[in-house]
């Protein structure tokens, strides 16, 4: 029996649309064991079958290595909410691939895991940090495997995470983003991506805030989150330096480097938005982990 732990992720980080992602200290746990029949527990009944994303990824990985599918029992225990912009599907994809490798004796590198998971997810912005930990900038050269640049994130930084009780589906969020932008917008983004990654490394809140001024997606996606403006105002007047939409939403993530400020802001958010779930998170530096039970 093996257990795989995969961190949640925050993609885009405001300015890095489809390129940046960061692993955070919220986790999904998956237990795998060979079995007589397929058994999946710990998730809603409608996903306790072959259509479960963990199992689909498990099967796809076996096929990638020329292995035959075999029955397995999978138990899922997760802190990561579904369809809230925290990489819940990526945790399932990564766990399925790692489970297949472990139960068949395959040794896979993190780079291979990223490549297989990206083929399932379509792009690496969530799966790369889930596997590698820290903050990651990813891109895929034509005809090549994904390239991942890993950035250590300052341990001083705290990410106040606000999770509304409603979903924003990625498909809906993508529809509102323009397919073409002016050259000036592209130039605006490029320098700020470099600024944000450097700010995260240094723990430089002023640099992070100055860089986090997105013109590609957040101006359009904020309309899909009814509480966006009120939560942003609460965060910025409550001590956070900046805020971004996590992934496609509905989760919002504010940043500070003071734990006390983060705790006072969490109290304030819980008072004003009691229907929202809030966490004070750090950057996960380890990425996906596996242990034998």
The answer to whether the annotation marks 171 as part of a ligand binding site is no
Spatial CA neighbour of 29 closest among 74, 83, 82, 85: 74
The answer to whether the annotation marks 85 as part of a ligand binding site is yes
The answer to whether the annotation marks 86 as part of a ligand binding site is yes
Q: What are phi and psi of 181, to 5 degrees?
A: -135, 155
The answer to whether the annotation marks 28 as part of a ligand binding site is no
The answer to whether the annotation marks 89 as part of a ligand binding site is yes
The answer to whether the annotation marks 113 as part of a ligand binding site is no
The answer to whether the annotation marks 91 as part of a ligand binding site is yes
Parallel, antiparallel or unpaired: strands 72-78 and 39-41: parallel
Q: What are phi and psi of 290, to 5 degrees?
A: -135, 140
The answer to whether the annotation marks 90 as part of a ligand binding site is yes
Binding-site residues, in ranges, read 81-91
Query: Which residues define the annotated binding site for ATP?
Result: 81-91
């Amino acid at each position: 029996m093996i257990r795989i732990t995969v961190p949640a992720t925050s993609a885009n980080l405001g300015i890095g649309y489809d390129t940046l992602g960061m692993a955070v200290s919220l986790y999904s746990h998956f237990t795998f064991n060979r079995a007589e029949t397929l058994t999946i527990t710990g998730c809603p009944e409608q996903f306790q079958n072959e259509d479960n994303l963990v199992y689909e990824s498990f099967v796809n990985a076996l096929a990638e290595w020329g292995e035959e599918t075999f029955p397995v029992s999978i138990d899922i225990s997760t802190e990561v909410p579904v369809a809230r912009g925290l990489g819940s599907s990526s945790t399932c994809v990564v766990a399925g691939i790692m489970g297949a490798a472990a139960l068949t004796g395959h040794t896979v590198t993190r780079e291979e895991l990223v490549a297989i998971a990206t083929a399932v997810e379509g792009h690496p912005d969530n799966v790369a940090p889930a596997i590698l930990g820290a903050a990651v900038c990813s891109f895929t050269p034509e005809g090549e495997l994904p390239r991942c640049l890993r950035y250590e994130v300052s341990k001083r930084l705290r990410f106040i995470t606000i999770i509304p009780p409603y979903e924003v589906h990625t498909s809906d969020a993508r529809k509102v983003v323009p397919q073409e932008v002016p050259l000036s917008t592209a130039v605006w983004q490029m320098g700020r991506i470099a600024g944000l990654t450097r700010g995260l490394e240094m723990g430089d809140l002023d640099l992070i805030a100055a860089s986090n001024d997105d013109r590609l997606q957040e101006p359009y996606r904020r309309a899909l989150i009814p509480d966006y403006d009120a939560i942003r105002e609460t965060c910025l007047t409550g001590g956070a330096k900046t805020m971004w939409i996590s992934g496609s939403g509905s989760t919002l993530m504010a940043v500070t480097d003071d734990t006390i400020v983060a705790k006072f802001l969490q109290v304030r958010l819980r008072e004003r938005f009691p229907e929202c779930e809030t966490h004070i998170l750090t950057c996960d530096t380890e990425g996906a982990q596996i242990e034998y039970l």
